[in-house]
Structure 1
Amino acid sequence: MKRTHGKYELQIHARPMQPVRDFKVDVHIHEEAGISFIDVKGGLSTKPLANAITKTHADKQAWVYFYPTVYQQKMCDSCGDQGMNGDLVIVYDVNRDNGLGHIKKSDGYFVHHFAPSDLPRIRKNVIFVIDQSGSMYGRKIEQTRIALVHILNDLAEDDHFGLITFDDRISYWKRKLVQANSKNLESAKNFARNIQDRGSTDINEAVLQGARMLNEHNREGSASILILLTDGDPTSGVTNLEKIQSNVRQAIAGKFPLYCLGFGFDVNFNFLEKMSLQNNGVARRIYEDSDADLQLKGFYEEVATPLLTDVTMIYVGGTNLTQTNFSHYYNGSEIVVAGEITDNNIETFTPQVVAISSNRRIIFSNPNETVESTGTVSDDHIQRVWAYLTVKQLLEKELQLSGPEKEKVKKEAMELSLKYSFVTPLTSMVVTKPPGENTDVLHKPKEGETSQRWPSPGGQPNLAHLTPASGYSGQWVLSADYGIAYVLENPDYLEPVDAPIDATDAPLLHRFLLNSTGNQTVPLCFDISGAIILKLFHHPSRDL
């Protein structure tokens, strides 16, 4: 689980779409470091459902039970005749020291959680580069204005900041960074409230100007951050994506991170993600919803308080390490590193962290501390954490590469994913191959791609089709040929056919069912073990 805003968050979706006679959620949390606090939030924690929640906390363990009655399921704020429709959110954190952190080992592997908090904040220099092209029309631009005003209110007085808006032209609030005093903040908020959508999208020039302003603002003992918000592809100026990424990488030159926020579903998120990773940042999708302004503000709060820069994690006697260099460490977050202990020799294993705090070098070490052995969890638990982080970082690396290097990293990630049974973009479909037949594997569709051909062992799958006139909704069809099951969503027209259908006619693969009456999308997720048969659809007259 990822720590943000000083806590871990477990979100449980409870949308049965009907009152359930026996509905139970049991959560058990075990943390070797000890649990400092635990709380239950979300729409399903309000009255009268609050009475259905039992919470117990004892040192290293916590339990949450959620047992709502049928009556409570109908009476809560987000409930009705269709039962519960909301989330139960469990938040907690663990006990922490302000030194080297918490290190666990098991079966020759270790995982290190580093999250000091008792450190002075570092003054920051931040530039917001905001898309105001025509596609930001309406609620997007309105929510961006609201979020910017909130964010500006949260700047500390010793921070410096700048605002750039762009369409096919670049607009500056000021040509250089200025101090976040009350006068400048009021002026900036007036600028933010008057941002209007117009024109096309010149991402290249906008980001380069932001980088230029940060490079010119060289302030000792401070941390610089560049934040881009956009909702579309570059359509003006330099539009070649690889050229833009190259230009931005040269302009930033590893001096500060670039965070890219992609607004909505029309944005080329792969392009933003690659550009962020190339510049020590991350990309985040902002969902076009009623709380988009809170999503924007929430992301800013994650990077609002830098505590360390140039963080290097050192492990003498360690090998096969996950990422060990980090440009920034922010208050409320966490750095996690995993690896192998050479020859499983704990005596020669010495961890250390070196970083910059304000303008001085600081070393975190504890030579007398013993690395904790996890005797209460399964032997492969720490090894799986190492494998998970390694696969995640290999996939990020693969996104930035091309040619043979890309294929090599991709192969390594796939082999690890298969070995540890991780679901990833490379391993998201399980195919049971009939004996003696060659079966093609369908790769997960990427954003913006058209549908690919279905796997077709020995010929095209013979899809069972239903007509809307048959009394069935006609919104989905299930095919189960050759032991492979698909859910196909929203065919344009369905009719019974005897002849095989050309596979290219099939829509994209979805893992969701769309309720034709309520326009609600419900996840289709089942854990299947042994000889369990799930009857998802039944149509007696057509023997389906």
Structure 2
Amino acid sequence: MGRTSVQIALIGLMVALAASLPNKDDWDIYSFHINSTVTSRYATTVITSRVANRMNESKEIQFHVRIPKNAFISKFRMFIDGQVYDGNVKEKEQAKRQYTAAVSRGESAGIVSSVGRTLEEFKTSVTISAHKKVTFELTYEELMKRTLGKYELQIHARPMQPVRDFKVDVHIQEKAGISFMDVKGGLSTNALANAITQILTDKQAWVYFYPTEDQQKACDSCSAQGLNGDLVIVYDVNRNSTLGDIMVSKGYFVHHFAPSNLTRIPKNVVFVIDRSGSMHGRKIQQTRAALIRILGDLAEGDHFGLITFDDGIYHWKQELVQATSENLQSAKTFAREITDRGGTDINRAVLEGTRMLNAHPREGSASILILLTDGDPTSGVTNIEQIHSNIRQAIAGKFPLYCLGFGYDVNFEFLEKMALQNNGVARRIYEDSDADIQLKGFYEEVATPLLTDVTMSYKGASNLTETIFSQYYNGSEIVVAGQIDDNNLDTFIPEAVAISATERRTFSKTSSPVETTDTLSENQIQRVWAYLTVKQLLQKELQMSGPEKEEVKKKTLELSLKYSFVTPHTSMVVTKPPGETTAVLHKPKEGKQASQGRLSRVFHSSHISYGAQRPLHHPGGRRKQAMYPASRPTAQLEDYVVDMLGSPGGFLRTSHQPVVPLLQDVQILLRPTFEAATLAPRLHRFLIETNNSALPLCFDIAGHPFIKLLHHPSRELFVNGELNSVTSAVFKKIVIHFEADKHVEVDAKGVTVRVGENTTRLTGQDMITADSLTVITRSKEIDIAAGDTRMVIIVHEMAGEEFLWPVMRQKPSVTDLEGILALKPAGYEDVDGFPNGKKKIKDQEIAVTRTSTVDYSISPPEMIVCWLMAADSALQRPLNDFLVAQL
């Protein structure tokens, strides 16, 4: 089994000053996290980087991140001094007008991505005042594609400096069960091997990569500038020969079809090889090497043909022949003698390959046509539309055409359209040292057909993605999504019909055809449907022209805007602080290089007021002066803001780093506040984040009660927390009760797990698993997964005392959750358009006061600003609903 081409490539943040390499004396990436969750083959990744300007003057800091080509960015935010600056997805022309206006003022506001082999780059920058900090947070989503029997998550890390808080967290959940998992890549070997923790259970897997600063300089490709290499997580799920996995939620379904134990279908394959003058040198050498290796992999039951072309056509043999050892040896001799010369008559060459396949019909076989070229048509028929028409009519849907474009100079859009019109795909082959391996790797993907003429049908469903597939290959997977009519599972009947090596087969389930999943976050299946629909509409648009093309483009745009996907028809407008331009994130077409003149280089260097001394107001009229100096970093632990009660503030965020789709829509922040011991009753501050870029709301709870953090009735899950009543208003103990016989008690010194009559105490690096409960302890962090719920409890330390801070990492998709962690974002309006004094929530006017607090959901904590109001008003229900009598 060869390497898969499926990759979720996450490249580490590269923050650099304009036109210079990073200088740690100028700025410091003090925290860098990649958090990727793959749930039922849908990946959501959040890259969070926190950077501090260590200089005594403002500095422009650039955010530079690479993501997979198949991914859609869905969220981008910057956190600066308690303010949130959001990116908003807009129609591309609207964003372009914004960019043009900025350029006309002499500002470089546009951001265009460059494209590597599997990656796209997105950049933005922001000017940060002296000794201040910025947090960049990027979210993107991707439906994973199975290739050669496995999925790969490829994480390429190059932060450009060692980072003291560097973490990569990968969590995989598969209801079908995980058949195997492995970790590969340059970052998994030698000095970095012991920085990786792997955990694999029946249906879940975790990979943690936590290298120290010294380790980040110790890998083979690392240096004083830190990590530079790959971490590759490889896995697959359990398979069967039936209909596959069908997941349903909220009226949408996703069907993964990959039957096993099927007999290989003999194939008829014709290779059409460009030997024109532009293939001179390395290209033709690599093509010869790849072709010889491919011929060695043909099975005796296969039939094949070879054509080379320039201005003319050159056959190895006029007709297809069987892949006997004698014929294969003769074909390899022919391949070794291929030389470059002449022009490029693509039309004639592909039509000749089509003729050879049409002249060789074999019942029970699968035909494939593969074209390799590096240039535009220069001989014969050169009109591209005419070539497309000629080839489409000749093939007539009888077999797929795969187009391999060699190098960056090739007209890839021409090849892509030709392949898509004929049930195939186009692939770019990069002129690197491993080009022959790339060629052979592609061939291996289509080398073993198992089914042909696959038709997926879904009675009782509509708005389906593609349902007809010319061939299904070994190691691949067919994915279909749609909407279930009236959300009625009783009338929803899925079925697949295809031709195998021996017969026409029907794949169905006579009972329990679908399963309603509780492992996905709310609306995730709908987002999978939207993702797949947009991808296929973009391909369909490429094949069309005229009014049909415009109609498809309109539908693609509507879906992209609705689901906030950055696609070729949309851009993300990145809001900047006052005095700076607004940047635009684009998604390029395949093969488009970065426009270097349009990268962000000359944003205005406006100073932003961070941490300036200002009065904070008490609701009763008392005023206290903020006690932190403007010249110091606002996010350090000792830099507490003294609020209207004289108490430095803190808060807890339940999902600062969302790891599943739409988890960012349920970000709740809890913020207890420290007080002087002489104040009574003690106040604890909590915060509810808003669903836009507005400041969050906060409220106080008097005394030191037990808090209902989460209650998940259908899972018999209770999570309660005890606030510290002596020295600080933070959690000193958190208790989880799960399924009656499983109990987890967490304090600052360790974790006690009781399952039935057995009790285990975990300290240091440790793990325990009991059915669907998993508890993992690491340095200053406890990771707890209970069924479809996952939280991380962070252990902080201040003035020698340790305390707990719970962070929600996976929220169940059910609607009957209770507790502080189950709250949804607040929505409010300014009264009479004025930001201070009052807010309106559900037509109710509420008095508010602006104050500050510290976020303990991240490490190190950071300062944030919020609107303080009465607890019942912020919660929109009685506060007593969130208190419990005991843990």
Is TM > 0.5 for Structure 1 vs Structure 2?
A: yes
- 2:155 equivalent to 1:31: no
- What is the distance in 2 between the residues matched to 1:450 and 1:92? 32
Query: Helix, strand or coil: the match of 2:567?
Result: coil
**1:41-71 deviation per Cα after TM superposition (whole angstroms, max 9, x unaligned):** 1121221222221110011110001122233
Q: For residue 516 of structure 1, what is the aligned residue in structure 2?
A: none
Residue 132 of structure 1 aligns with an amino acid whose one-letter code is: R
- 2:285 equivalent to 1:142: yes
**1:87-119 deviation per Cα after TM superposition (whole angstroms, max 9, x unaligned):** 111111111111110000000000000001200
User: Quick check: 2:162–2:213 contact (8 Å CA) kept in 1?
Assistant: yes
Residue 274 of structure 2 aligns with an amino acid whose one-letter code is: D
Q: For residue 413 of structure 2, what is the aligned residue in structure 1?
A: 270
- 2:602 equivalent to 1:478: yes
Residue 536 of structure 2 aligns with an amino acid whose one-letter code is: Q
Q: 1:226 aligns with which of 369, 385, 406?
A: 369
Q: 1:317 aligns with which of 449, 452, 460?
A: 460
TM-aligned CA deviation for residue 450 of structure 1: 11
TM-aligned CA deviation for residue 359 of structure 1: 4.5
Q: Please, what TM-score do these two structures have when normalized by structure 2?
A: 0.50
TM-aligned CA deviation for residue 445 of structure 1: 6.2
- 2:259 equivalent to 1:116: yes
Q: 1:404 aligns with which of 537, 540, 547?
A: 547
Q: For residue 257 of structure 1, what is the aligned residue in structure 2?
A: 400
TM-aligned CA deviation for residue 134 of structure 1: 1.2
- The 5 Å alignment of 1:287-306 reads 287-306=430-449
Change (3 A) 1:449 1:383: closer
User: Quick check: 1:350–1:367 contact (8 Å CA) kept in 2?
Assistant: no
- The 5 Å alignment of 1:239-250 reads 239-250=382-393
Change (3 A) 1:211 1:38: same
- What is the distance in 1 between the residues matched to 2:358 and 2:586? 42
Q: For residue 51 of structure 1, what is the aligned residue in structure 2?
A: 194
Return 62-71 or 109-118, whichever deviates more. 62-71
Change (3 A) 1:442 1:299: closer
Instruction: Structure 1: state its 5+ residue gaps.
Output: 455-462, 464-474, 483-526, 533-544
Change (3 A) 1:448 1:240: farther
Count of paired positions: 464
Q: For residue 724 of structure 2, what is the aligned residue in structure 1?
A: none
Query: Helix, strand or coil: the match of 1:329?
Result: strand
- What is the distance in 2 between the residues matched to 1:65 and 1:317? 43
- What is the distance in 1 between the residues matched to 2:392 and 2:164? 57
Residue 110 of structure 1 aligns with an amino acid whose one-letter code is: F
TM-aligned CA deviation for residue 6 of structure 1: 0.4
Query: Helix, strand or coil: the match of 1:423?
Result: coil
TM-aligned CA deviation for residue 448 of structure 1: 8.5
User: Quick check: 2:304–2:321 contact (8 Å CA) kept in 1?
Assistant: yes
- 2:193 equivalent to 1:69: no
Query: Helix, strand or coil: the match of 1:70?
Result: coil
User: Quick check: 1:121–1:358 contact (8 Å CA) kept in 2?
Assistant: yes
Query: Helix, strand or coil: the match of 2:239?
Result: coil
Residue 297 of structure 1 aligns with an amino acid whose one-letter code is: K
- 2:238 equivalent to 1:95: yes
Residue 345 of structure 1 aligns with an amino acid whose one-letter code is: N
Q: Please, what TM-score do these two structures have when normalized by structure 1?
A: 0.81
Query: Helix, strand or coil: the match of 1:244?
Result: helix
- 2:469 equivalent to 1:326: yes
Q: For residue 138 of structure 2, what is the aligned residue in structure 1?
A: none
Q: For residue 13 of structure 1, what is the aligned residue in structure 2?
A: 156
Q: For residue 355 of structure 2, what is the aligned residue in structure 1?
A: 212
TM-aligned CA deviation for residue 250 of structure 1: 1.0
- What is the distance in 2 between the residues matched to 1:7 and 1:442? 32
Query: Helix, strand or coil: the match of 1:24?
Result: strand
- What is the distance in 2 between the residues matched to 1:41 and 1:106? 34
- What is the distance in 2 between the residues matched to 1:345 and 1:22? 48
Q: For residue 565 of structure 2, what is the aligned residue in structure 1?
A: 422
- What is the distance in 2 between the residues matched to 1:449 and 1:64? 34
Return 189-198 or 295-304, whichever deviates more. 189-198
Q: 2:491 aligns with which of 348, 351, 364?
A: 348
TM-aligned CA deviation for residue 411 of structure 1: 0.6
- 2:225 equivalent to 1:82: yes
Residue 248 of structure 2 aligns with an amino acid whose one-letter code is: K
Residue 62 of structure 1 aligns with an amino acid whose one-letter code is: A
- What is the distance in 2 between the residues matched to 1:481 and 1:201? 52
- What is the distance in 2 between the residues matched to 1:168 and 1:322? 41
TM-aligned CA deviation for residue 176 of structure 1: 0.8
Residue 139 of structure 1 aligns with an amino acid whose one-letter code is: R
- What is the distance in 1 between the residues matched to 2:402 and 2:588? 25
- 2:528 equivalent to 1:385: yes
User: Quick check: 2:571–2:584 contact (8 Å CA) kept in 1?
Assistant: no
Residue 493 of structure 2 aligns with an amino acid whose one-letter code is: T
Q: For residue 864 of structure 2, what is the aligned residue in structure 1?
A: none
TM-aligned CA deviation for residue 249 of structure 1: 0.5
Query: Helix, strand or coil: the match of 2:348?
Result: helix
RMSD value over aligned CA atoms?
2.7
User: Quick check: 1:220–1:359 contact (8 Å CA) kept in 2?
Assistant: no
User: Quick check: 1:221–1:358 contact (8 Å CA) kept in 2?
Assistant: yes
- What is the distance in 1 between the residues matched to 2:590 and 2:436? 24
User: Quick check: 1:42–1:87 contact (8 Å CA) kept in 2?
Assistant: yes
- What is the distance in 1 between the residues matched to 2:157 and 2:348? 45
Change (3 A) 1:476 1:110: closer
Query: Helix, strand or coil: the match of 1:375?
Result: coil
- What is the distance in 2 between the residues matched to 1:308 and 1:383? 28
Query: Helix, strand or coil: the match of 2:179?
Result: strand
TM-aligned CA deviation for residue 479 of structure 1: 3.7
Residue 478 of structure 1 aligns with an amino acid whose one-letter code is: V
TM-aligned CA deviation for residue 83 of structure 1: 2.4
- What is the distance in 1 between the residues matched to 2:307 and 2:194? 49
In proportion to residue count, which structure has more strand?
A: 2
Query: Helix, strand or coil: the match of 2:166?
Result: coil
Query: Helix, strand or coil: the match of 1:428?
Result: strand
**1:416-439 deviation per Cα after TM superposition (whole angstroms, max 9, x unaligned):** 01101112111134266999xxx9
Change (3 A) 1:395 1:37: same
User: Quick check: 1:351–1:365 contact (8 Å CA) kept in 2?
Assistant: yes
Query: Helix, strand or coil: the match of 2:414?
Result: helix
User: Quick check: 1:228–1:261 contact (8 Å CA) kept in 2?
Assistant: yes
Change (3 A) 1:384 1:7: same
Query: Helix, strand or coil: the match of 2:170?
Result: strand
The structure with the larger Rg is: 2
Change (3 A) 1:322 1:407: same
In proportion to residue count, which structure has more helix?
A: 1
Q: For residue 153 of structure 1, what is the aligned residue in structure 2?
A: 296
Q: For residue 203 of structure 1, what is the aligned residue in structure 2?
A: 346
TM-aligned CA deviation for residue 27 of structure 1: 0.7
- The 5 Å alignment of 1:443-482 reads 477-479=601-603
Query: Helix, strand or coil: the match of 1:392?
Result: helix
